[in-house]
């Protein structure tokens, strides 16, 4: 590409960014003369250069835009939002053409007459139509000659439409256009002037009007010249006034030159290190003094070179005001963008990489974050929403905050969506804090937006943002209060060129692991307290209260691992790393040091290895490879998949899984696990034990505005008095009771095979859950303990009589207390015959019967006279069971529906 | 201007004379020639870091005056057996390929020869395909043959 053209494109792109920002400022305050002047100057410069380079499309669009701006500037017109929009559209058109020009080197074909027509109409003072609207047919496609800058110098006779008629062109002159006759006259009057460029240098665009030959150009140039000077004077004025013009303070340097400088400095540092090593060995060297100076200068040089790569983050924000403005217009919202800390500097490479995620987040804030003006007012907020961007340094990192004062995240909607998408089980979702729930928006394909708009809501949003940020070693988090707004925190390294890394050894070779992905370093095996265990050939590390999947670094590298055994006699180092939210351990043979390393990219020949993110040169001159945490993570993931496959295969072998029950497994008083059916538990809570109070011989806690009694799950395990106490919350007749446990272990879905051993109060029996003997507790016993002498509102009501037919003792024991807790008097029997006998003595309000074991005999209940008019509710483990004829079908594990169905059935009885 | 002009002239003269300059290198027992214009520098191999998981012809990476150079094992690339004593003491021919620095590991580097086109012959048809890929032809020297090595060809497979 022509060098001149290349420079023009670079410069113009920079100009355009500034124009965008300023136009938004201008729209907000159309009376701001300074802003308008600088916009006008920029567009004018673009136009002038285009004419010079022979880019007719660009020139005409810029010209039309400038004419309109000129009217604003001289006060003929006051800018309306529609007109500003029009100017923005013309700037966009210029950008489009420029992009094409940059890609191909030639100005693309295209028709701008509609846009130009609209701009001209606006300049004439007509109410501006959008450029998209049809423009009067008169606007001819081939544009007239390049008649430059100067607006017509004196008012000439005007036609009825306010425009001058030019007989040569056979049409009305456009605003700012000069008639051919005038040009001719000017040309004749013009004397050759040495100051001017040669005529031929201004190429006439190959447009329609051949009469306007190159001979017309000098006159135009000449006319333009004084104005150019005038504009230059304004520039000087601005500089004198302490404006933002500081062009002579900076120069443009090719990035490659900076990269070379960086390389050379690194080399210098290495050489210095070698020299220092040599001199250190010599006892008394005359080199010592000078070498020290060399050392200091080198360090300073390194700093300075690093600085040349730094750019203020504001340059990544330049496009944002325009984006917010456009979004606000499209969405009919009022949005203010406030930016702080624009001067915060970071490496230009990081800057480039952060631009897109930031843009995406700002769009998100505009679209989903901020509410429509009406709902804002309804919520008692000001009509205009605010998006705030803030950047600051924090310990070698830069933190960017993106906040809005909008509606905030809807915790319940995100929770529902997360459960629906299978990201989390319902039970787990209960125990999660709001902040944990909010983080689901970073999960792949997660979007709660009810509607997809042109701006956002396609569900590829925040996970892409997170991925991009993690790619450069950053992290993202958020804080949100429903109704108050959302605040995102992005933490990214200042530079990618220099990172802090841990140097480790594996199989006699050293590697660097970026410090950012390292959580901690632990010793395993040997005398260490951290034990490595093997689960079906997958190794895990027991670290404090969690299991970490382990992978040997040599496995990741694809070389045979050392001795894989890590036990009492074999110790190893484990680097605990975090990637994509997953913690895992990497086994290494040796750990050396942390070093600030200069990251160098890998050559293409090594690009397909995939294990490394780069290479670096250490102080001793040797090259070491930098491990890509993502590659290790993928390796760990593979190991996990293997485990999952094995589990699946085993399950398939076992054939159809029998009916299962969800159980919550916990520990209380000793190692042996205990369990209760999850369906009986209302909530899992972790309560602050210091808030527990004693009263009436019981432990009480204020819970959700009421006093809740707490009993210990094991009489020998006292309730905590400090720290966090995990509590299972049950509800009994609308009253809550808590069961204090030591630790909630798991929620499992298993086929229960209970061996009844109810020799101890509160114990239903023992079952094997996950291969371990587990005590299944009788919840009703604990509820009675907790709620004795409690004012039971149900006591005074005459209890309704219910018969439960259930052959399985577990369910019989499970459901009876449940029904009693709901205020019914329950007769639990094993067989249909027994139930019918019961009914002879006292007619029940409703009958609950299992239909899984023997549906045929259960149907006998339906036809028997003794139960005429009584609702029979079918109970099943499966929601698809055939329950024709029964009043309703309820799943045994579905506590809520069971109660509802019974209530409904009992009411029918009354009516009958 | 005059210096440049005279250089251009002399180059022109050379082309007319039909000669090319080659640096000779030994790989196993075979003599190869790399055109002088392709070579950035020649250095002896020190401190090679192997890259686990890389293709076999990639011997590793090394530090050449602050630049990280990817070392290509010429023996492996040409399908020759590797040296029993490993890479120690080998020489490297530094080249630039697609803006990246590569070093081609050879057993030894000889001298610079100016060879006449009249001694050049295309590759014999029965040449090993491995070699055909990377060589344009053969120069007949006194008592031995010099295979030309085309650096771009040598590296394009390595980086493909």
Burial A468-478 (b: 16+ CB within 10 A, else e): bbbebbbbbeb
Are the Cβ atoms of A606 and B51 closer than 8 angstroms? yes
Are the Cβ atoms of A605 and B66 closer than 8 angstroms? no
CB A379 within 8 A of CB A427: no
Are the Cβ atoms of A617 and B68 closer than 8 angstroms? yes
Average pLDDT on B142-147 reads 86
For A263, the closest of B51, B67, B159 (CB atoms) is B67
pLDDT tens sequence across A858-884? 888 888 777 777 888 888 877 777 777
Residue A873 and residue A897: Cα distance in Å, rounded?
Answer: 11
Burial of A497 (0-12, 13-18, 19+ CB in 10 A): buried
Is residue B81 predicted with pLDDT exceeding 60? yes
Distance from CA of B159 to the nearest CA of A (A): 4
- Phi then psi for A84, rounded to 5 degrees? -60, -40
- Three-state SS at A817: helix
Q: What CATH number does the domain containing B148 carry?
A: 2.40.50.180
CB of B15 within 8 Å of a chain A CB? The answer is no
Residue A253 and residue A263: Cα distance in Å, rounded?
Answer: 16
Is residue A230 predicted with pLDDT exceeding 80? no
Strand-strand pairing, A171-172 and A165-166: antiparallel
In chain B, residues with a C-beta closer than 8 Å to the C-beta of A558 are 52-53
Is residue A307 predicted with pLDDT exceeding 60? yes
- pLDDT band with cut points at 50, 70 and 90 for residue A206: very low
Question: With respect to CATH, is domain A312-493 assigned 3.30.565.10?
Answer: yes
Would you say how long chain A is, in residues? 912
In chain B, residues with a C-beta closer than 8 Å to the C-beta of A263 are 66-67
Distance from CA of B50 to the nearest CA of A (A): 9
Residue A154 and residue A151: Cα distance in Å, rounded?
Answer: 9
The residue range of the domain holding B139 is 20-159
- pLDDT band with cut points at 50, 70 and 90 for residue A193: very low
Whole-number average pLDDT of chain A: 73
In chain B, residues with a C-beta closer than 8 Å to the C-beta of A621 are 47, 63
In a domain, B6, yes or no: no
pLDDT, residue A662, reads 75
Is residue A525 predicted with pLDDT exceeding 90? no
Average pLDDT on A238-249 reads 47
Distance from CA of A550 to the nearest CA of B (A): 20
CB of B130 within 8 Å of a chain A CB? The answer is no
Q: What is the DSSP string of A434-464?
A: HHHHHGGGGSTT----SS--SSS-SS-SHHH
Is residue A885 predicted with pLDDT exceeding 60? yes
For B52, the closest of A267, A558, A608 (CB atoms) is A558
Distance from CA of A39 to the nearest CA of B (A): 41
Q: Give residues with Cβ within 8 angstroms of B108, minimum separation 6.
A: B25, B26, B91
Residue A62 and residue A90: Cα distance in Å, rounded?
Answer: 7
Question: With respect to CATH, is domain A661-787 assigned 2.40.50.180?
Answer: yes
- pLDDT band with cut points at 50, 70 and 90 for residue A27: confident
Strand-strand pairing, B39-44 and B91-97: antiparallel
For A625, the closest of B47, B49, B66 (CB atoms) is B49
Are the Cβ atoms of A609 and B51 closer than 8 angstroms? yes
Is residue A223 predicted with pLDDT exceeding 60? no
In a domain, B74, yes or no: yes
- pLDDT band with cut points at 50, 70 and 90 for residue A228: very low
Q: Give residues with Cβ within 8 angstroms of B122, minimum separation 6.
A: B136, B137, B138
User: Taking Cα atoms as reference points, which of A533, A497, A32, A573 lies closest to residue A258?
Assistant: A497
Q: Give residues with Cβ within 8 angstroms of A650, minimum separation 6.
A: none
For A559, the closest of B52, B70, B72 (CB atoms) is B52
CB of B121 within 8 Å of a chain A CB? The answer is no
pTM (2 d.p.):
0.47
Residue A764 and residue A870: Cα distance in Å, rounded?
Answer: 31
Q: Give residues with Cβ within 8 angstroms of A6, minimum separation 6.
A: none
| Dihedral sign for Cα atoms in the order B77, B78, B79, B85 | negative
Higher pLDDT pick, B26 / A136: B26
For B58, the closest of A268, A605, A617 (CB atoms) is A605
In a domain, B106, yes or no: yes
In chain B, residues with a C-beta closer than 8 Å to the C-beta of A559 are 52
- Three-state SS at A720: coil
Higher pLDDT pick, A404 / A37: A404
- Three-state SS at A195: coil
For B47, the closest of A267, A559, A621 (CB atoms) is A621
pLDDT, residue A454, reads 44
pLDDT, residue A275, reads 81
A581 sits in the region (left: phi over 0; alpha: psi -120 to 50; else beta) called left
Disruptive mutation site among B45, B48, B49, B100 for chain A (greatest number of A CBs within 10 Å): B49
Is residue A199 predicted with pLDDT exceeding 60? no
User: Taking Cα atoms as reference points, which of A372, A359, A369, A361 lies closest to residue A330?
Assistant: A372
In a domain, B44, yes or no: yes
Give the other-Cβ count within 10 Å of A341's Cβ: 18
In a domain, B8, yes or no: no
pLDDT tens sequence across A756-809? 555 566 777 777 777 777 888 877 777 777 766 444 444 444 567 888 888 776
CB of A600 within 8 Å of a chain B CB? The answer is yes
In a domain, B13, yes or no: no
In chain B, residues with a C-beta closer than 8 Å to the C-beta of A588 are none
Are the Cβ atoms of A621 and B101 closer than 8 angstroms? no
Q: Give the number of C-alpha atoms closer than 13 A to the C-alpha of residue B1, restricted to the C-beta side.
A: 0
Q: Give the number of C-alpha atoms closer than 13 A to the C-alpha of residue A19, restricted to the C-beta side.
A: 28
| Percentage of chain B modeled with pLDDT above 90 | 14
Report angle CA A751, A756, A759 to the nearest 5 degrees.
145
- Three-state SS at A864: coil
Are the Cβ atoms of A622 and B98 closer than 8 angstroms? no
As its CATH architecture, domain A800-911 has: 3-Layer(aba) Sandwich (3.40)
Is residue A643 predicted with pLDDT exceeding 70? no
Number of A/B CB contacts below 8 angstroms equals 74
Is residue A624 predicted with pLDDT exceeding 80? yes
Count of domains observed in chain B: 1
pLDDT, residue B20, reads 86
In chain A, residues with a C-beta closer than 8 Å to the C-beta of B98 are 604
Is residue A392 predicted with pLDDT exceeding 70? yes
Average pLDDT on A574-578 reads 87
pLDDT, residue B93, reads 92
- pLDDT band with cut points at 50, 70 and 90 for residue A245: very low
Give the other-Cβ count within 10 Å of A859's Cβ: 18
Higher pLDDT pick, A754 / A316: A316
For B63, the closest of A557, A611, A622 (CB atoms) is A622
CB of B93 within 8 Å of a chain A CB? The answer is no
The CATH number of A254-307, from 3.40.50, 3.30.43, 2.30.30, 1.10.287, is: 1.10.287
DSSP H helices, A318-451, are 320-331, 348-364, 373-378, 411-420, 426-431, 434-438
Extract long-range pairs of A903-910: CB within 8 Å, 24+ residues apart: A903/A822, A904/A871, A905/A845, A905/A846, A905/A871, A905/A873, A906/A800, A906/A802, A906/A824, A906/A845, A906/A846, A906/A871, A908/A871, A909/A800, A909/A845, A909/A846, A909/A869, A909/A870, A909/A871, A910/A845
Q: Which of residues 502-521 of A touch B (CB under 8 A)?
A: 509
Average pLDDT on B14-35 reads 82
Average pLDDT on A185-214 reads 45
Structure tokens at B60: 């590793």
Which residues is A820 bridged to in the sheet? none
pLDDT, residue A503, reads 92
Disruptive mutation site among B61, B64, B155 for chain A (greatest number of A CBs within 10 Å): B61
Average pLDDT on A596-613 reads 81
Average pLDDT on A529-556 reads 76
In chain A, residues with a C-beta closer than 8 Å to the C-beta of B63 are 270, 617, 621-623
Are the Cβ atoms of A623 and B158 closer than 8 angstroms? no
Which residues is A513 bridged to in the sheet? A502
- Domain residue ranges of chain A, discontinuous segments joined by +: 3-248, 254-307, 312-493, 498-641, 661-787, 800-911
Residue A125 and residue A127: Cα distance in Å, rounded?
Answer: 6
A386 sits in the region (left: phi over 0; alpha: psi -120 to 50; else beta) called beta
In a domain, B14, yes or no: no
In chain B, residues with a C-beta closer than 8 Å to the C-beta of A615 are 49, 61, 68
Q: What is the ipTM of this complex?
A: 0.84
In a domain, B154, yes or no: yes
Average pLDDT on A637-662 reads 53
| Percentage of chain A modeled with pLDDT above 70 | 73
Residue A14 and residue A44: Cα distance in Å, rounded?
Answer: 14
pLDDT, residue A654, reads 46
Strand-strand pairing, A888-891 and A871-876: parallel
Are the Cβ atoms of A558 and B53 closer than 8 angstroms? yes
CB of B61 within 8 Å of a chain A CB? The answer is yes
Query: What topology is assigned to A3-248 in CATH?
Result: 1.20.120
Is residue B101 predicted with pLDDT exceeding 50? yes
Helices A217-240 and A33-53 meet at what angle, rounded to 10?
140
Residue A732 and residue A822: Cα distance in Å, rounded?
Answer: 7
Strand-strand pairing, A706-712 and A673-677: unpaired
For A263, the closest of B47, B62, B66 (CB atoms) is B66
pLDDT, residue A141, reads 40
B63 to chain A: closest CA residue: A623
pLDDT, residue A153, reads 42
Residue A150 and residue A36: Cα distance in Å, rounded?
Answer: 17
Average pLDDT on B128-150 reads 84
């Amino acid at each position: 590409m022509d060098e001149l053209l290349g420079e023009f494109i670079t410069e113009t792109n920079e100009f355009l960014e500034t124009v965008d920002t300023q136009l938004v400022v201008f729209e907000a305050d159309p009376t701001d003369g300074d802003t308008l002047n600088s916009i006008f100057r920029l567009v004018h410069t673009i136009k002038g250069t285009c004419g010079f380079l022979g880019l007719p499309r660009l020139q005409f669009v810029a010209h039309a835009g400038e004419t309109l701006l000129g009217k604003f500037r001289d006060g003929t017109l006051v800018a309306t939002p529609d007109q500003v929009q029009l100017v923005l559209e013309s700037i966009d058109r210029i950008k489009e053409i420029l992009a094409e020009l940059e890609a191909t080197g030639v100005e693309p074909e295209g028709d701008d007459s509609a846009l130009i027509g609209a701009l001209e109409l606006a300049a004439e003072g007509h109410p501006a139509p959008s450029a998209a609207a049809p423009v009067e047919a008169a606007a001819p496609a081939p544009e007239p000659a390049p008649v430059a800058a100067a607006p017509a110098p004196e008012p000439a006779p005007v036609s009825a439409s306010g425009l001058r008629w030019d007989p040569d062109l056979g049409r009305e002159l456009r605003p700012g256009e000069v008639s051919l006759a005038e040009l001719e006259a000017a040309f004749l009057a013009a004397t050759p002037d040495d100051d001017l460029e040669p005529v031929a240098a201004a190429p006439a665009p190959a447009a329609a009007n051949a009469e306007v030959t190159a001979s017309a150009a000098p006159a135009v140039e000449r006319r333009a010249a004084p104005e150019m000077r005038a504009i230059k004077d304004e520039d000087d004025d601005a500089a004198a006034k302490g404006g933002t013009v500081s062009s002579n303070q900076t120069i443009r340097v090719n990035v490659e030159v900076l990269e070379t400088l960086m390389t050379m400095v690194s080399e210098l540092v290495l050489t210095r290190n070698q020299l220092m090593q040599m001199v250190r060995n010599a006892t008394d060297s005359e080199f010592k003094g000078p070498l020290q100076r060399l050392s200091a200068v080198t360090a300073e040089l390194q700093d300075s070179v690093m600085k040349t790569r730094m750019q203020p983050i504001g340059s990544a924000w330049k496009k944002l005001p325009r984006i917010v403005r456009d979004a606000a217009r499209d969405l009919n919202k009022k949005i203010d963008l406030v930016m702080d800390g624009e001067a915060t500097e970071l490496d230009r490479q990081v800057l480039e990489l952060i631009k897109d995620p930031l843009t995406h987040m700002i769009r998100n804030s505009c679209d989903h974050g901020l509410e429509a003006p009406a709902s804002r007012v309804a919520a008692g907020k000001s009509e205009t929403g605010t998006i705030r961007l803030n950047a600051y340094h924090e310990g070698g990192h830069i933190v960017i905050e993106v906040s809005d004062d909008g509606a905030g995240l809807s915790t319940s909607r995100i929770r529902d969506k997360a459960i629906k998408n299978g990201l989390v089980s319902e039970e787990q979702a209960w125990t999660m804090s709001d902040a944990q729930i909010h983080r689901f928006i970073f999960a792949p394909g997660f979007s709660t937006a009810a509607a997809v708009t042109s701006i956002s809501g396609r569900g590829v949003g925040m996970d892409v943002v997170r991925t991009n940020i993690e790619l450069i070693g950053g992290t993202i988090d958020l804080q949100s209060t429903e109704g108050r707004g959302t605040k995102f925190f992005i933490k990214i390294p200042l530079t990618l060129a220099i990172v802090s890394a841990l140097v480790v050894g594996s199989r006699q070779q050293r590697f660097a692991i970026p410090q950012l992905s390292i959580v901690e370093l632990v010793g395993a095996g040997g005398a260490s307290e951290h034990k490595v265990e093997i689960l079906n050939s997958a190794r895990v590390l027991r670290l404090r209260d969690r299991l970490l999947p382990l992978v040997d670094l040599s496995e990741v590298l694809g070389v045979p691992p050392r001795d894989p055994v890590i036990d009492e006699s074999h110790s190893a180092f484990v680097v605990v790393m975090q990637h994509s939210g997953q913690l895992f351990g990497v086994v290494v043979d040796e750990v050396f040091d942390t070093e600030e390393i200069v990251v160098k990219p890998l050559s293409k020949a090594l690009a397909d290895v995939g294990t490394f993110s780069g290479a670096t040169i250490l102080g001793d001159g040797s090259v070491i490879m930098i491990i890509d945490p993502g590659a290790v993570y993928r390796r760990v993931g593979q190991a996990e998949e293997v485990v999952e496959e094995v589990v699946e295969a085993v399950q398939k072998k076992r054939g159809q899984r029998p009916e299962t029950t969800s159980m919550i497994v916990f520990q209380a008083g000793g190692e042996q696990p205990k369990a209760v059916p999850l369906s009986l538990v209302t909530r899992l809570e972790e309560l602050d034990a210091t808030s527990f109070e004693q009263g009436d011989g019981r432990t009480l806690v204020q819970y959700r505005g009421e006093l809740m009694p707490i009993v210990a799950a094991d009489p020998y395990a006292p309730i905590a008095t400090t720290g966090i106490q995990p509590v299972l919350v049950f509800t009994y007749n609308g009253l809550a009771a808590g069961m204090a446990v030591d630790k909630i272990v798991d929620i499992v879905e298993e086929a229960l095979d209970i061996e009844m051993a109810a020799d101890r109060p509160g114990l239903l029996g023992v079952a094997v859950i996950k291969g371990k003997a587990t005590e299944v507790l009788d919840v009703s016993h604990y509820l009675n303990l907790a709620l004795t002498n409690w004012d039971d509102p149900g006591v005074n009501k005459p209890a309704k009589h219910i018969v439960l037919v259930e052959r399985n003792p577990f369910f019989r024991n499970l459901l009876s207390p449940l029904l009693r807790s709901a205020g019914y008097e329950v007769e639990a029997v094993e067989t249909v015959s027994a139930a019918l006998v019961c009914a002879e003595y006292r007619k029940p309000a409703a009958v609950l019967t299992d239909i899984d074991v023997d549906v045929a005999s259960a149907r006998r209940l339906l036809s028997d006279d003794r139960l005429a008019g009584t609702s029979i509710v079918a109970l099943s483990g499966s929601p698809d069971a055939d329950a024709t004829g029964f009043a309703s079908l309820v799943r045994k594990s579905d506590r809520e529906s069971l109660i509802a169905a019974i209530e409904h059935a009992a009411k029918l009885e009354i009516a009958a | 201007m005059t210096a440049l002009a005279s250089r251009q002239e002399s180059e022109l003269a050379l082309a007319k004379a039909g000669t090319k300059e080659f640096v000779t290198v030994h790989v196993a027992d075979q003599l190869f020639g790399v055109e002088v214009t392709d070579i950035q520098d020649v250095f002896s191999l020190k401190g090679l870091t192997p890259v686990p998981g890389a293709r076999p012809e990639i011997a590793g990476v090394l530090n050449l005056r602050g630049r990280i150079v990817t070392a290509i094992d010429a023996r492996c690339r040409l399908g020759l057996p590797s040296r029993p004593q490993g890479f120690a003491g080998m020489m490297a021919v530094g080249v630039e390929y697609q803006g990246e620095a590569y070093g081609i590991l050879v057993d030894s580097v000889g001298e610079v020869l100016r060879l006449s086109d009249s001694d050049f012959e295309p590759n014999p048809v029965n040449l090993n395909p491995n070699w055909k890929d990377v060589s344009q032809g053969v120069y007949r020297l006194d008592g031995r043959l010099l295979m030309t090595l085309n650096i771009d060809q040598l590296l394009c497979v390595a980086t493909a």
